[in-house]
Structure 1
Amino acid sequence: SGCGKSTVLRMIAGLEEIDDGELLLDGEHANDLLPADRRMAMVFQNFALYPSMTSRDNIGFPLRIEAPGADPRPRVEATARMLGIEELLDRFPGQLSGGERQRVAMGRAIARRPTAFLMDEPLSNLDAKLRNHLRAEISGLTRTLGVTTVYVTHDQAEAMSLGDRVAVLRGGVLQQVGTPRTVYALPRNVFVAAFIGTPRINLLRGVVRAPLDGAMTISLGKQFLRLPEPLSLDHQLLRVQQGREVIVGLRSEAVRIGDRATARPGETHITGLVEHVEFQGHEMLVHFNTGSRPAVVPDLEAPRPAPPGRRRRREGGTVLERLRDRAGALRAGPVVTVEEPDGPAGEPAPPEGRLPGDLIVRTTPDLALRHGMQVPLLVDIAHMFVFDQHGDRICPAPARLPDLEE
């Protein structure tokens, strides 16, 4: 929120001036083009329909502006058939539901036959069921029409399901751009890794141990992850992190319940104490306490109130604070660890908004697990991410798999 998504969209539309950089439309410089000359259509979050006009007039209004003497009715009716809203054409916005209003707003954009669609969180005001339905409709429409669409959303599930390419912004700085598969499988930094994916990736503080006469491990506090031998190229590069603190990222599917006897090649064994079980119907999400120290990405956690005497002097903070925030956004930003004194018996306290436990594992719904059970776990090291203290990914190495990272 507030990272600059809508501002970028408004710059593309010509509603905001571009201070620096270049906007290319079909390969041509377009910074100075008037909004009307860019032939783009925008769909807004709040529908933006004229309340005194029927749906027919709302859809046809831009057509009458572009070609005053032409009859807009054929294109309006063709657009209504495409969206399945023919029976709504003679109704006013006040007589429509939220989903119907958004369809009319989309019809107004489609009828113009623009060079590009600009969608600014068009589904955020709708309930979850209708949002999922319209998401599929938008995906089908954009492919049918063959029109480039720039879609702004703060919902990563929406971005992953709709986007051919996904761009992740933080503090006005582009963190990563790529296909949904690439952004999920090879996040460039800990912010992208934590933002993309449900449930959120497990982030644990660890220390690399690389003795000359033994196996390389990553200590997680009370337990450790043993790296399989012979070491892969990526894991060999971790030797330079000997003795340094790193952040280990494990997605919920990278860990499974099982003991050493059922371990597959490349898996290492740890144990976990069941703290909470979320039954999802088709699966379960199990929260384990492994004695590890979780790491927190500040922008993705609920802000804690500032202590008395340290309130910011005005909205946005001091100049020094804003410069520091900006500098943090240029990289992945610092990773703040959970303060240990908050927890009982010296254990780390969970971040605000999260349940106890440091490791979430996705598993089948048929397992009988209850609070307090000690369970053996197998970690697939091949699907483990390692980030440095600044949050940049170091394993898999950034230079690896260039075809996926383009």
Structure 2
Amino acid sequence: MSRTIALRDVSKRYGRESYAVERVSLTVEPGEFLVLLGPSGCGKSTVLRMIAGLEDITEGELYLDGEYANHVPPRERDIAMVFQSFALYPNMTSRANIGFPLRLRDPATDHEPQIEATARMLAIEDLLDRYPGQLSGGERQRVAMGRALSRHPSVFLMDEPLSSLDAKLRGHLRAEIARLTEELGVTTVYVTHDQAEVMSLGHRVAVMRGGVLQQVSSPRDAYALPSNVFVAAFIGTPRISLLEAVVHAPLDAGMSLDLGGQRLALPEPLSIDHQLLRIQQGRPVVVGLRSETVRIAPPSQARPGEVAMRGIVEHVEYQGHEALVHVNTGSRPAVVADLESARPPAAPGHRRRPHGNSLGPLGRRVMGRLSGAVATLEPPQSSSAGDAGVDPDRRGVRSDLVVRTGPQVRVRAGAQVPLLVDLAQLYVFDHAGRRICPAPDGLPDLEE
């Protein structure tokens, strides 16, 4: 039987220190698989532990199936947890580890049939009489999952259970977890910082930063429609290229994005999303381009909505089925350290710790790696033939754009390449980091 989990303005604070989690409101429906995603230290594991009852809730309310549960003891919540560290008893066999919670709950009953059934579900029947020290990492994690599954909990909590395993085994166990949770229909909350797990496991993803919930949506929407620049930068491999720009929208001419010496002209007639950029006239914005929106091709092969540009190849990552080409377009890097405020507006009378309008140290490191600029390159005014379109002063500066290509495209470091950008997949964020293009939900339909 699955349960509903509801958090209402839940916060966690340790002593007089700043909030580890602040005003998180979230509902997990029965049978849903929700992934909590975010960088280390963002508060996702703390949220999980508050649901389990392993951490007290400083402020706010927790409801399980509509019943107030802040002070319900952990053993009475019918919740099972799987940890990153496996947490198996080293002096017990796999059989004893799986059966431990069953014996604890009902010592007089023979639990062997239930243990055997759980082992068959996880394909570990031949490991039941081995001790944890005799098992591999993947086998120990299966036993840990079996211990959690054996008593048929109504809620399943997983705290980065695959992070200590090798890549091949992680992929295999991801598929196993997806199959098991689908079969059992148990409500699951899964904590991770691995985007592959988000995309392959979750019905919904909740992105956190600095203890604050940033976005709750399907994994597809979190990737395609990030609510702010942090979500855009955190989700996606390789990470999105973020580019500084200023909007120019004169009434008597076409709209363009000034990227510092070069301009990206938006094609006429303007799409509805691009029309919304007019209100940003003269204001700084951040443009985002994902690797699949740019391709290596000459201007003669441009499709409708694509704009030509050039760049110098800095580095090529060959990955077998594809290649990631890191390009220096010679454009001005974006300054994004104070781009986004993570905190929601304070309710009247609600006191908060000071936080400013900064992304914080982690955000600055992330954005520092992503800074860059992309533009439609005009014919060079003064450069050598080999460096057309690239400012000589930018030579040697790290790449500002990543292009995803097929393995058949062969380029070398130092070569100039022609690029085509699909403007239909252009992201634009305002000075506060909020997405303004594509248009946020809730805006009026301009065609009506």
Mark yes or no: TM-score above 0.5: yes
What TM-score do the two structures reach when normalised by structure 1? 0.85
Q: Which runs of 5+ in 2 are unaligned?
A: 1-39, 339-351, 373-390
Aligned amino acid, residue 61 of structure 2: E
Task: Tell me the residue number matched to 1:100.
Answer: 139
Go from structure 1 to structure 2 and tell me whether the alpha carbon gap of 1:261 and 1:99 turns closer, same or farther (over 3 Å shift). same
Letter in 2 for 1:156: Q
Aligned partners of 1:80 and 1:107 also within 8 Å:
yes
Tell me, yes or no, if the aligned pair for 1:225 and 1:270 is still in contact at 8 Å. no
* CA shift in 2, pair 1:333/1:397, >3 Å: farther
Give the 3 Å change call, closer, same or farther, for CA 267–347 of structure 1 in structure 2: same
**Is structure 2 residue 185 aligned with structure 1 residue 146?**
yes
C-alpha spacing 1:258/1:165, structure 2 compared with 1 (3 Å)? same
> 1:37 is aligned with what amino acid?
E
Distance 2:335 2:320 in 1: 29
Change (3 A) 1:390 1:163: same
The correspondence of residues 259-298 of structure 1 with structure 2, limited to 5 A, is: 259-295=298-334
CA distance in 1, matches of 2:265, 2:236: 26
C-alpha contact (below 8 Å) 1:283/1:362 kept by paired residues? yes
Please report how far the alpha carbon of residue 103 of structure 1 lies from its aligned counterpart in structure 2 after TM superposition.
0.5
Q: Does 1:347 align with 2:409?
A: no
Q: What's the offset of the Cα at 1:279?
A: 1.2
Which amino acid in structure 1 is aligned with residue 108 of structure 2?
Answer: G
8 A contact 1:120–1:153 mirrored in 2 = yes
Aligned to 1:175: 214
Q: Is the 8 A contact 2:244 2:335 kept in 1?
A: no
Q: How far apart are the structure 2 equivalents of 1:221 and 1:345? A: 15
Does 2:106 correspond to 1:64?
A: no
Deviations 1:177-221 (A, max 9, x none): 110100000000111001101010011111111122221111222
The match for 1:378 among 420, 431, 441 is: 420
Q: Which moved more, 1:356-365 or 1:220-229?
A: 220-229
Paired residue secondary structure (1:23): strand
Partner Cα distance (2:393, 2:282) in 1: 23
Distance (whole Å) between structure 2 residues aligned to residue 401 and residue 88 of structure 1: 57
Identify the residue that residue 410 of structure 2 maps to in structure 1. Answer: 368
RMSD (Å) for aligned C-alpha atoms: 2.6
CA–CA distance in 2 between the matches of 1:66 and 1:329? 47
More helix by share: 1
- Aligned partner of 1:391 in structure 2 is 433
Distance in 1 between residues matched to 2:193 and 2:256, nearest whole Å:
37
Contact 1:278 1:285 in 2 (8 A): yes
Give the equivalent residue in structure 2 for 1:185. Answer: 224
Q: Does 1:256 align with 2:303?
A: no
Give the structure 2 partner of residue 237 of structure 1.
276
Partner of 1:26: 65
Say whether the 8 Å CA contact 1:294–1:337 is kept in structure 2. Answer: no
What residue number does 2:238 align with?
A: 199
4+ long deviations beyond 3 Å: 294-299, 322-330, 332-340, 344-350
Alignment partners' CA distance in 1, 2:170 and 2:199: 14
3-state DSSP of counterpart to 1:294: coil
**Distance in 1 (alpha carbons) for counterparts of 2:396 and 2:187:** 46
- Report the AA paired with residue 441 of structure 2: A
Q: Deviations over 1:25-53 (max 9, x none)?
A: 22332222211111000001100011111
Measured in 2, the distance between the counterparts of 1:89 and 1:214 equals: 74
- The 5 Å alignment of 1:199-238 reads 199-238=238-277
Question: Are the structure 2 counterparts of residues 88 and 279 from structure 1 closer, same or farther at C-alpha, using a change threshold of 3 Å?
Answer: same
Asked if structure 2 preserves the Cα contact closer than 8 Å seen for 1:14 and 1:34, the reply is yes
Moved more, 13-22 or 141-150: 13-22
Contact 1:171–1:326 under 8 Å retained in 2: no
Tell whether the 8 Å contact from 2:93 to 2:129 is kept in structure 1 after alignment. Answer: yes
In 2: Cα distance, 1:71 partner to 1:326 partner? 59
Amino acid at match of 2:99: G
Q: Distance in 2 between matches of 1:40 and 1:348?
A: 57
Cα distance in structure 1, aligned partners of 2:321 and 2:169: 22
**Identical pairs, percent:** 68
SS in structure 2 of the partner of residue 108 of structure 1: helix
Match of residue 116, structure 2, among 55, 61, 77: 77
Q: Which amino acid aligns with 1:347?
A: R
Decide whether the 8 Å contact of 1:204 with 1:295 is kept in 2.
yes
Q: CA deviation at 1:326?
A: 6.8
Q: Does the aligned pair in 2 maintain the 1:170–1:329 contact within 8 Å?
A: no
**Are positions 1:14 and 2:53 aligned together?**
yes
Q: 1:336 to 1:145 in 2, by over 3 A?
A: closer
Given that 2:240 and 2:289 are in contact with CA atoms closer than 8 Å, whether structure 1 keeps it comes out as yes
Between the two proteins, the alignment pairs up a number of residues equal to 371
The superposition leaves residues 241-261 of structure 1 with CA deviations (integer Å, 9 ceiling, x where unpaired) of 112211100000111122332
Q: Would the aligned equivalents of 2:247 and 2:255 in 1 still touch at CA under 8 Å?
A: yes
Measure, in 2, the Cα distance between the counterparts of 1:349 and 1:45: 41
- Amino acid aligned to 1:188: S
Q: Do the aligned partners of residues 391 and 211 (structure 1) sit closer, same or farther apart at CA in structure 2, a change above 3 Å counting?
A: same
User: Take 2:113 and 2:424, find their aligned partners in 1: how far apart are those partners?
Assistant: 57
Please tell me the residue identity of whatever aligns with 1:258. Answer: A
SS in 2 for 1:21: strand
Distance in 2 (alpha carbons) for counterparts of 1:9 and 1:349:
45
CA distance in 2: counterparts of 1:259 and 1:115, whole angstroms: 57
Aligned to 1:319: none
Cα distance in 2 between the residues matched to 1:374 and 1:324: 48
**Structure 2 counterpart SS, 1:270:** strand
**In structure 2, how many angstroms separate the alpha carbons of the residues matched to 1:349 and 1:371?**
11
Q: Does 1:137 align with 2:176?
A: yes
